[in-house]
Structure 1
Amino acid sequence: MNTAEMTDRIANGQGFIAALDQSGGSTPKALRGYGVEDDAWSGEDEMYAEIHKMRSRVITAPSFSNGKVIGAILFEKTMDGMVDGKTTAEALKDRGVVPFIKVDQGLEDEENGVQLMKPLDKLDALLAKSVAAGMFGTKMRSVIKSANPKGIADIVAQQFEVGRTILAAGLMPILEPEYDITAADRAEGEEMLKSEILTRLDRLPEGEQVMLKLSIPVKDDLYRELIDHPKVLRVVALSGGYSTDEACEKLAKNPGMIASFSRGLLQDLRAGQSDEEFDRSLGGAIDQICEASVA
Structure 2
Amino acid sequence: MKVIAAINGTITAESVAFYALMYAQAQKFTLVLLHIKNEKDNLDDVQASIERISTVALSKDVQTESVILQKFSKTIIKNFILSEYIDTIFCSTRKHTKFITDSFSELLINMNFNIDIAVIRIVNISNIMEVDNMFLSIKEDKLSVKKFAFFATLASAYEAKAEIYSVTNMSIYKLARLKMHEVKERLFTINYNLRHYIKLANFMPFTLYIKHDFTSNETQSILMEIAKSDVQLLVIGAKRLSVSSFFFKEMPIEKLMRDTSVNTIAYYTKE
The two structures have a TM-score, normalised by structure 2, of 0.29
Instruction: Report the structure number with the largest CA radius of gyration.
Output: 2
Provide TM-score, normalisation by structure 1: 0.27
More helix by share: 1
**Structure with higher strand content:** 2
